[in-house]
Copies of this chain bind each other. A is one copy, B any other.
Amino acid sequence: MAIIVQKFGGTSVGSPQKIKAVADRVLRYKNEGHKVVVVLSAMSGETNRLTDLAFQMQARPDTREMDMLLSTGEQVTVALFSMAIKEAGHNAISFLGDQVKILTDSTHTKARIQSIDTEKIFKYLDEGCVVTVAGFQGVDGVGDITTLGRGGSDTTAVALAAAMKADVCEIFTDVEGVYTTDPNICAKARKIDRISYDEMLELASLGAKVLDIRSVAFAKRYNVPLHVRSTFTETEGTWVVEEDKIMEDVIVSGVTYNKNEARVTICGVPDQPGIAAKIFSPISDADINVDMIIQNQDTGAGLTDMTFTVMRIDYVRTMELLKGVAKEIGAKGIYGSDSITKISIVGVGMRNHSGIATTMFNVLANEGINISMISTSEIKISCVIAEKYTELAVRALHDAFVLEKPDLPSEAYELDNPKK
């Protein structure tokens, strides 16, 4: 008998019929003797409906009231789901964030979980209930409702699994798991059987949408085995686990890309101490996040170029801010592009293998793709290229690292002892 936390996303609970199907699936686990805690998102479309209403009221909706508003989406789902379980003849109870004291800080719309009180949950599990917890929401120290931001229900599920020392946290979604790359642009994309937390973190931060990065970080910190799988099939999905649980020695696990960024260069900048601060202060003051930053070596003229990427939606504002900065510091000019892609390869095996970066650069060069920025970490290499080459680059890299080859067979995880 295991303690299982199962999270179902918005498309999995998008209609009364789908909610019933999820209830049936959850009850199969309960009938096998497991204790099941279910975390649900809002029905698909609901969060958008509520957000639209908010923007009809206020140009920049108040974040406290936004959380008050958006948290209703999950509340509706957990109530309906508990009804479905009861209709099937089983006992069920639903809880909101504040009812199981999912205590967060007060950063409305992107709060962080500080603690969870699992007492009530265990009490009702022991009484044979399917316990359902509203995802995405918490409560702060003064009793205000908070929400956890994008992918917040994943975070709720992982945090609950950690607090309960659950045997596994299953993330049910509309795909079958984590793929070596986007199957929509590469027919050879293959579902990964097992991946390490660190690789998943890189993939998530680089644009793979299947898991929210914060939930992966949470899972890593508390060593919660994650199982990403499809709501609509019985197939095993992808296990996200500790690195030493990965039997195979995979060098590159996946190819990912991110089209949401834009590239900005400020050139002919006097190469003096404090110049970076002068450039980036107005940008961070405007709440614009900067991702990659590259500063070229001063080649002797006392001038340097600074290139960085920002979210594409912040591109126009960033260029405007930089105009002022360039004048102030006497830079020669600014230019940029909002039609770029950051393409990345990720894999823990890179640590022990040299030449991976060279292979990547060669593959891109052979396709005639120019690289305008490079950034690396211990387990990933990212290149910024022109957006139009995205699909070509993904397929070429997927081929070059032979990612369609299956993982070596590995002992399957079992629910009763998934941590083995």
Contacts and interface: CB of A to CB of B under 8 A. Distances in A.
B94 A80 contact: no
Nearest to A100: B143
Contact of A80 (B16, B69, B99): B69
A66 B368 CA distance: 61
Interface in A23-62: 50, 53-54, 56-59, 61-62
Contact of A65 (B59, B66, B82, B143): B82
A64 B145 CA distance: 20
A89 to B, nearest CB: 11
A206 interface: no
B68 A75 contact: yes
Contacts of A307: none
A86 B65 CA distance: 10
Contacts of A50: 76
A80 B54 contact: yes
Interface in A73-92: 75-76, 78-80, 82-84, 86-87, 92
Nearest to A74: B72
Given A16-B53, A53-B76, A57-B19, A86 B62 contact: yes
Nearest to A68: B79
Contacts of A72: 72, 75-76
A98 interface: yes
A50 to B, nearest CB: 7
A64 B75 CA distance: 13
Bin chain A's interface residue count: 35 or more
A20 interface: yes
Nearest to A120: B143
A132 to B, nearest CB: 9
Most chain B CB within a 10 A radius of its CB, from A53, A59, A65: A65
A69 B94 CA distance: 10
Given A16-B53, A16-B57, A62 B83 contact: yes
Nearest to A16: B56
Interface in A268-324: none
Contact of A69 (B62, B65, B75, B144): B75
B79 A94 contact: no
Contacts of A79: 54, 65-66, 68-69
A59 B53 CA distance: 31
A383 to B, nearest CB: 43
Contacts of A56: 16
Most chain B CB within a 10 A radius of its CB, from A16, A59, A80, A94: A80
A76 B65 CA distance: 9
Contact of A87 (B58, B86, B145): B58
- A-B pairs, top 9 by smallest CB distance, nearest first, are A69-B79, A57-B83, A72-B72, A16-B56, A68-B79, A58-B83, A58-B87, A65-B79, A65-B82
Given A59-B87, A66-B79, A68-B82, 16 more contacts: A16-B53, A16-B56, A19-B57, A53-B76, A53-B80, A57-B84, A62-B83, A64-B93, A65-B80, A65-B83, A68-B78, A68-B94, A71-B75, A72-B75, A96-B145, A99-B143
30 contacts: A16-B53, A16-B56, A19-B57, A20-B57, A53-B80, A57-B84, A57-B87, A58-B83, A58-B84, A58-B87, A62-B86, A64-B93, A65-B79, A65-B83, A66-B79, A66-B83, A68-B78, A68-B79, A68-B82, A68-B94, A68-B96, A69-B75, A69-B76, A69-B79, A69-B80, A71-B75, A72-B72, A75-B75, A99-B143, A99-B144
